[in-house]
Amino acid sequence: MNTYFSTFIPGFSQIIQDSLPQILEDVTVTLNLDGLIVYQTSSNPEKVKDLRFFNNTYILLNKFEKPDHNPIERMIYLVLQSPNLEAQISEYTQNKTKGFRVVISKENQNIRVKNDILIRLEERIQKIRGLSVNKSKASLELWFLSRDEGHGFFGIRITKPTIEDKKVEAGELKPELSHLLCLLSEPDRSDIFLDPFCGHGAIPLERASFFPYKQILTGDMDPKTIDRFRLKTKKFTKKIVTGRWDATNLHSFDDESITKIVTDPPWGFYTGKHLNLPVFYTKMLTEFSRVLKKDGITVILVAQKQIFETALKSVPSLLLVSRSDILVSGKKAAAYKIKKSN
Ligand SMILES: C[S@@+](CC[C@H](N)C(=O)[O-])C[C@H]1O[C@@H](n2cnc3c(N)ncnc32)[C@H](O)[C@@H]1O
């Protein structure tokens, strides 16, 4: 049984807490903060490492309750006092691991700390099986995380560095967000799934790669976007159907033919031409209501919440289930989970 802490997009605490026991064995959640969860599981660390909805996951070595006014220094000091440090690091480090670095994150910002106790800590770690400090290319990362509500954590990162692993194109959603949007829609193997504003295809590709489905339907208004997306779908053995359409008029779909719609419509900020969002959202939601089966679910990522919620009220067959307020690339947004009632 290992204890881990994982970071995730703030706003999704509930869906993560609900999903963990369905994926991992013997899960006990000991702390669920907005954006960070601490849990124990008997699952293999490789399985934990591969969880798609987390930004990063760490083996928990120490947890600090409300470290005082200088939390980083206090945490490093307490770790230095620990007689188990060498044993803990050796347990989770492979023999071939050589370069390591200590990373310090204060309220979600990585910071540099130059002081004697950090140097003393690095010197002590260097005595473990030939480990040496390598700030640019470390295969072992030891993280101190301090959060503004007063919790502090020290652990070994088991996920890969974000930049190597998760390169996305401009406007493309990150895989962890696409994964969470798919999860919110309660994926099922019988799903006829639609993303009518697919763009680079982050959502349908995540759905096709990591969840079961009967059929995936995707499309966009922009022909170049569709051509690029079609190339990415070739590797899938189960066909992903792609079309060009205006998502406010999905006449190629019958009434009540779709079980799930998960999508990221234009945000209305960057379009060259003016987009009348109240009209656009109302037409889109009316069309979603028409094509969704009864009890079908749609999850929609929206930045202009007030306009969207007004539009939603004008389509009585669609009922709001939940709203998760999040930040996407620093911009306020919300993931709406909506159910078709009749
Ligand atoms: C916010 S982007 C989607 C980004 C996508 N989730 C991704 O990760 O790449 C919105 C997409 O909707 C498309 N679009 C805009 N208006 C549309 C409409 N009326 N019907 C269908 N697609 C539309 C745009 O071409 C753009 O690709």
Express each pLDDT in 17-48 by its tens digit.
999 999 999 999 999 999 999 999 999 999 99
Residue 225 phi/psi, 5-degree rounding, is -60, -40
Q: What is the pLDDT of residue 65?
A: 85
User: pLDDT, tens digit, for every residue of 203-239?
Assistant: 999 999 999 999 999 999 999 999 999 999 988 888 8
Q: At 254, list the tokens.
A: 């019958």
What SS3 state is found at 179?
helix
What SS3 state is found at 19?
helix
Residue 173 to residue 203: CA distance in whole angstroms: 8
Q: How many C-beta neighbours within 10 Å does residue 117 have?
A: 16
Which of 200, 206, 220, 233 for mutating ligand 1's site (highest number of atoms within 8 Å of CB)? 220
Residue 143 to residue 159: CA distance in whole angstroms: 12
Residue 312 phi/psi, 5-degree rounding, is -60, -40
Residue 63 to residue 79: CA distance in whole angstroms: 10
Question: Whose CA is closest to 276, among 266, 286, 263?
Answer: 266
Q: What percentage of the chain carries pLDDT values higher than 70?
A: 97
Q: What is the pLDDT of residue 164?
A: 47
**Closest CA to ligand 1's atom 17:** 221
User: pLDDT, tens digit, for every residue of 275-316?
Assistant: 899 999 999 999 999 999 999 999 999 999 999 999 999 999
CA of 265 to the centre of ligand 1 (A): 5
**Residues enclosing ligand 1, CB less than 6 A?**
171-173, 196-197, 199-200, 202-203, 220-222, 225, 246-248, 264-266
Looking at every residue in the chain, the average pLDDT score rounds to 92
CA of 248 to the centre of ligand 1 (A): 12
Question: Whose CA is closest to 264, among 312, 315, 227, 298?
Answer: 298
What ligand 1 atom has the least distance to the C-alpha of 173? 8
